[in-house]
Amino acid sequence: MTSLRARDLMTPDVITVPPETPVLAMARLLADRGISAVPVVDAEGQVRGIVTEADLIRRLAGEEDKHGGWLASLFANQERDAERYARTHGVTAADVMTTAPIAVDPDTLASAVAHLMEDKGIRRVLVTQDGRLKGIVSRADLLRALVGPAPEQGEFSDDRVRRAVLAAMKKEPWADTFYTMVEVKDGVVEFHGFSRSAAVQRGLKVLAENVPGVKGVVDNTQPMPAYLFNGV
């Protein structure tokens, strides 16, 4: 794992929300997608914060600080208390998010990412460049890198190829990463799920074929159902 960097480990296809997203909508998003956190990104693509399960539980549970009486009030910090109140009573992502989340550069060594998680006691770090989100590295990503077989010189692991395909898809506005899933087996890319048109299917095939390490492409997607197509 010594030569791996954040760009090699990160999940590039990250679900994000704008600052005005309601708390309940984020709670449903985390539950429905089986994720534990979602970055908050503004209209310019800049990372503003991150909302975690802990943030939402604190808000939805209506947790309030227990005041310690007049003695505690002597040592109260009004700025801190006001911020805590906003986070436990807020109604949008901007209210409850953790601002200035821990982030690393794409070229940060995996060992440095691991030490950062350990030192900060966190489960994930954002990968950013010029303030823009590139991906997320979780503890699970680090574990996979630690126990997974290292690719031989000049070869690409299936997981690395999959991440590269997803990263390429995210750069193209016509490539739907929400309804189209990617699997890689022995260097062969397999697309599953739904696609909007035959043109998109052709585009995905060409996109995957241009990713280093891809040995073939299999399209198992189905036409987008009307109820999904009309709902997006």
List beta partners, residue 183: 190
The residue type of 228 is L
203-213 pLDDT per residue, tens: 999 999 999 88
CA dihedral 151, 156, 162, 167 (to 10 degrees): 120
The residue type of 66 is K
Domain 152-232 has CATH 3.30.1340.30: yes
126-185 pLDDT per residue, tens: 999 999 999 999 988 888 777 655 455 456 788 889 989 998 898 888 887 788 999 999
Domain ranges of the chain: 152-232
DSSP summary character for residue 156: -
- Read off the pTM: 0.57
CA distance 27 to 24: 5
CA distances to 2, 151, 169 from 137, rounded to whole Å, are 16, 20, 19
Residues 58, 88 contacting (CB under 8 angstroms): yes
